[in-house]
Amino acid sequence: MPGTRYLLLLGLMATPAHAWDFTPGAPCVLTHDTPQAQIELTYDPTAPLYSITITRAEPWPDASSFAMRFDGPQGRVIGTDSHQLSRDGRSLTVTDKGLGNVLDGVQFNRTAIASSGDVEISIPLDGASEPVAAFRACEGTALSS
């Protein structure tokens, strides 16, 4: 059934790719879209300041802490109580002078689980290694932990 194979191939090609994308500049940006959320990491060399923002369709709960668990060869759990929610509650942002632990987790593991309150979002990390390496080299500045 060549026609069926063609339709299947066409359908797969029409499915959006959920790739990690690096955009150099000021700020440098690393993005990734999943069915559950949009992830954006930024580095502003003029501050210098890093951020990670995770946006979902539904609001995040108003919780006292936010954590990310990285599953894979270099698994780790990191957390903070310094996160902020956007006005509509759909975006959760953490800013810091360094995101080295987050970048290590994204670059060297298979999955990240972002959690706040009773919400957990699974983020596949396939294909993140090279874009994270480019993000780390942003403006020639090494990221601190």
Q: Which tens digit of pLDDT belongs to each residue from 69-78?
A: 999 999 999 9
Question: For residues 136 and 81, what is the distance between their CA atoms, to the nearest angstrom?
Answer: 25
> What's the pLDDT at 4?
39
| Residue 72 CA to its chain's centroid (Å) | 16
Say whether pLDDT at 61 is over 80: yes
Question: For residues 48 and 56, what is the distance between their CA atoms, to the nearest angstrom?
Answer: 27
Q: Which of 18-27, 48-57, 85-94, 135-144 is least confident? A: 135-144
Kindly report, residue by residue over 86-95, the tens digit of the pLDDT. 999 999 999 9
Question: For residues 86 and 97, what is the distance between their CA atoms, to the nearest angstrom?
Answer: 20
Top pLDDT among 87 and 8 is at: 87
pTM over 0.85: no
**DSSP letter assigned to residue 57:** S
- Give the mean model confidence (pLDDT) for residues 39-62: 94
